[in-house]
Homo-oligomer: A and B are copies of this chain.
Amino acid sequence: MTRWPLVFLAISSLRAQEIDRVAVLNDLAELLAIPNVARNLPDMERNAGAIIKMYARRGVTLRKLDAAGGPPALYGEIQTPGAKRTLLLYAHYDGQPVVASQWRHAGPFEPILLDANGEKLSWPGPGATLGEEWRIQARSASDDKAPIIAFLAALDSGLRPRANLKFLFDGEEEAGSPHMRGILERNRTLLKADGMIFCDGPINQSRRPLIAFGARGNTSLALTVYGPARELHSGHYGNFAPNPALALAHLLASMKDQDGRVRIAGFYDDVVPFNEAERKAIAAAPPVEDQLKREFAIGASESPGKRIDEANGLPAFNIQGITSGGTGAEARNVVPATATASIGIRLVKGMDPRKTSAQVVEHIRRQGYFIVEGREPTPAERLAHPKIAQVRTARDGTRAVRVPLDSPFASAVVRAVESVHGEVVKQPTMGGTLPIDAFEDVLAVPIVIVPIANHDNNQHSHNENLRLKNLWDGIATLSAIMTME
């Protein structure tokens, strides 16, 4: 394993203060004005072209890595003479789809500046003083064009990298990066690095900088159980036709108890528990649980007494939805024909998505169900089996990735960021999922997640925004990382 130096020179933060903030904002606005929904390839090519030009002006040549039909990934590098290590810096330039009518003041691709009260400001001229609580609003202002511009601003500040830097800008992260594994496999040598920084996501709710050392994986499962072949009159056939909604209720209840414990055999077997450093980091993070309970209006969490980051150390079994017959204005006096549940499972380090899916399927079988996979049962099958379920599992799923936070690379990143910001919040794993298992698999590289955006950034929704202080702090954060030895 590569050893990361214990000593670190925090010169980058000084330099970051010298940047021309209005110029940075203008660069960001220029990029945000180009629509970037991943499925619109001509738009994505325009984004790629703009980013290539911006980096070329700083002497960094980006090139397109073919994505076999998807938007290209962009790759470029800064070779540092005498460097002992190589750092891979990741961000993505695509954004979530938009509903233009929902946006305030301007469309999603018309970047505007707002004051702390959400009032629209006129665009600042050269040398203007910018409020730190102001926000720039546009799709991808925070997720995830901000780091792409922050890297540029860091370069403009004259920082001198000490490691080799490799940039990789994904063009379809919000679409699940379906072509990334192929890109990595075709460019294994090109992308080889000793550590990877995944720049995405928000910092802590307390506004303190945050570093995450992993993300949960996921898999999903659609489950349908069957009653009569068609909806039946509940008077004539109630007590005769089996009710699939009741059957599904029993089946789901058998999977997870009321104390939040999953009852599927083997479900927790492969979980790698947090080590002592991780447990300490969780205990040291600002407590947000009571605030969240109030915000969500819940009388108790599903993991009472546990810190939320501690709860995220276990896999989560979540019913995303149930559909059967009708309720409310759509309620009818019928025995429904089917009942369907959508189940999402978050995985932690050690778990294999396919193995977990297979455990769920086996659990259903053990409840007495005849299972058909990914198709409707035939009438003959339905007649032959009193309990019958269709299961449709996610093809692959995503593995959890987690770097021990006392490992050399993780420690080095912490030291770099803390050299400019003081103590940061250390999250052993995010609860959510990032498409980073492919990087670990193909590049065998340790990955640390360094977000810069504010948590209240309306990520994925309308009025997405980036708080300006987060941008300046983020530039300092990334400058520190770009000058790691």
- B-binding residues in A (CB < 8 A): 215-216, 218, 220, 222, 226-230, 232-243, 245-250, 252-253, 256, 258, 260, 289, 292-303, 308, 311-312, 314, 316-328, 330-336, 339-342, 344, 346, 379, 382-388, 430-433
**Given A296-B232, A322-B324, A340-B328, are A302 and B243 neighbors across the interface (CB < 8 Å)?**
yes
* Nearest-CB residue, chain B, relative to A324: B322
Asked whether, in the complex, the Cβ of B236 is within 8 Å of the Cβ of A247, the reply is: no
Chain B, residue nearest A432 (CB): B235
Partner of A258, one of B238, B247, B256, B260: B247
Q: Are A319 and B324 in contact, with the CB atoms below 8 A?
A: yes
Report the nearest B residue to A217, measured CB to CB.
Answer: B235
Is the pair A321, B316 in contact by a Cβ cutoff of 8 Å? no
Bound-state Cα–Cα, A175 to B31, Å: 60
9 closest A-B pairs by CB: A235-B432, A321-B325, A238-B316, A331-B342, A299-B386, A228-B296, A300-B386, A245-B319, A249-B252
Inter-chain CA distance A386–B344, complex, in Å, is 23
A312 B228 Cβ-Cβ under 8 A: no
Set of chain B residues within 8 Å of A297, measured between Cβ atoms: 226, 228-229, 379, 382-383
User: Are the CB atoms of B342 and A326 closer together than 8 Å?
Assistant: yes
CB distance from A60 to the nearest CB of B (A): 33
- Taking the closest CB of chain B, its distance from the CB of A264, in whole angstroms, is 13
Query: Which of A218, A317, A335, A433: most chain B Cβ within 10 A?
Result: A335
Would A236 and B430 count as touching, CB distance under 8 A?
yes
* Sample of 8 more A-B contacts, CB < 8 Å, known A298-B386, A331-B344: A222-B327, A229-B298, A234-B346, A238-B317, A297-B379, A319-B336, A321-B325, A326-B342
- Tell me, in angstroms, the Cα distance from A64 to B177 when the chains sit together: 72
- Contact residues in B for A433 (Cβ distance below 8 Å): 235
Interface pair A316/B220, CB less than 8 Å apart:
no
Please indicate the chain B residues that have their CB under 8 angstroms from the CB of A331 in the complex.
Answer: 220, 222, 320-321, 342, 344
A379 to chain B: closest CB distance in Å?
Answer: 5
Q: Which of B218, B228, B249, B303 contacts A253 (CB 8 A)?
A: B249
Separation of A296 and B248 alpha carbons in the complex (Å): 19
Within the complex, the shortest CB–CB distance from A333 to chain B, in Å, comes to 6
| Alpha-carbon gap, A222 to B330, bound state (A) | 12
A243:B319 contact, CB within 8 angstroms: yes
Q: Is the CB of B314 within 8 A of A234?
A: no
CB contact under 8 A between A239 and B431, given known A253-B253, A320-B334, A388-B299: yes
In whole angstroms, how far apart are the Cα atoms of A252 and B246 in the complex?
Answer: 7
